[in-house]
Structures are given as C-alpha cells and as structure tokens.
Amino acid sequence: MPAIGAIQPKKMLMSKIARFTYYVNSYSMDLSFALESSDNPEYEQAIQLCQLLKLQAKSRSQKKQLELQGQILELLNFELDVEYDPGQLFEGTGLAVPLSLSTATIDLSLEHGDLGYQFSGDIWYELLAKKNLTEKRMQQWEETSGGIQLPAFRGGIGEYAGDSGSQIGWEIVSD
C-alpha cells in the first residue's frame, strides 16, 4: 500500500473538501497484441494513438501539445477507479475519475518503438466531507478506515505492462 500523507496547508482552512492527488510514475501499456492483427478490435485505436503520440512528440507548440494530449486522453478513455472506506467522514465508497485535461497533468510518450506507451503524472479528485476537515480529522480517518485504497485504471488501449510506483497525497481546499 502506498504511503498516504498530508500536503501541508499554508493556513488553517474551514472546509469540507479534501483534494486527493494520485501520483503515478511510468505506467506502461503494451500495444503489441493490439497491433498484431487488423482483426483486433483495438487495432485502429492503437494506430491512431501512435500517430497522435508521434505528433505530440514532434510539436514545438505548447498549445498544440496540450490539444493533442486532450485528444489522446479522450481516445484512451482511461478512468481511475477509486475505492475508499468513508468511515464517519465521507459519503459513498468510491468514484470513477475519467482522465482528462481537467483531472490530470500527464506526460504521455511512446516506448519500445511503437509497441507501447507510458505515462507519468498527477490525477486529482475531490471528496466532500460530512463535517469541516482538519488535518487531525483526516489523519484519524486514514488510521481508522484505511484511507484511499490504491486506485486501479480501467480502459486504455493495450495491456498493462507495469509501473514504477505511485502514491496518494491529500490537502484540504477551500469551499
């Protein structure tokens, strides 16, 4: 289980919103099976993904790179599946966070020629608490409920090939 820790707030806030950030490092997907045969249902998407990643890598314009990244994330259709024990602090037990430019800052690139891709970056989501949050309440919630479990990805193109680790942090944000 990755370490869960507080991002130190600059001042004491009275808020019911906790923002969690999932830091992922070198999450790799293998495209070789998808590209093996044009009969594979992911074949066309894998070809399109490779083309978009190559265009993004060649682009010198930050605006164009961001536009291409949005198209790539939309094509990948990744969701972060987050599960947690609400304890006495939060509602619900989980949520799905679609990866998009509004929920993630991610570096995407091809690897092993065109046979795979990997990404690293931050994915964030917020939970609304039943009462005002304090660092002490958040730490008690982590200790008694186990906090946020290591999220899993759903979707994507290709097969999971590994990653170089991840962790989850949180901060209390103003309403």
Side-chain half-sphere of 27: how many Cα atoms within 13 Å? 24
81-103: average pLDDT = 93
Query: Residue 106: what residue type?
Result: I
Q: Which two tokens stand for residue 102?
A: 């509004």
pLDDT at 2: 42
pLDDT of residue 1: 39
Residue 7 has a pLDDT of 53
Over range 130-147, report the average pLDDT.
92
Own/partner pairs, 59-67, CB within 8 angstroms, 24+ separation: 66/101
Could you tell me what percent of the chain has a pLDDT over 90?
A: 75
For Cα atoms 92, 151, 117, give the angle at the middle one, nearest 5 degrees. 145
What is d(CA 99, CA 29) in angstroms, rounded to the nearest whole number? 15
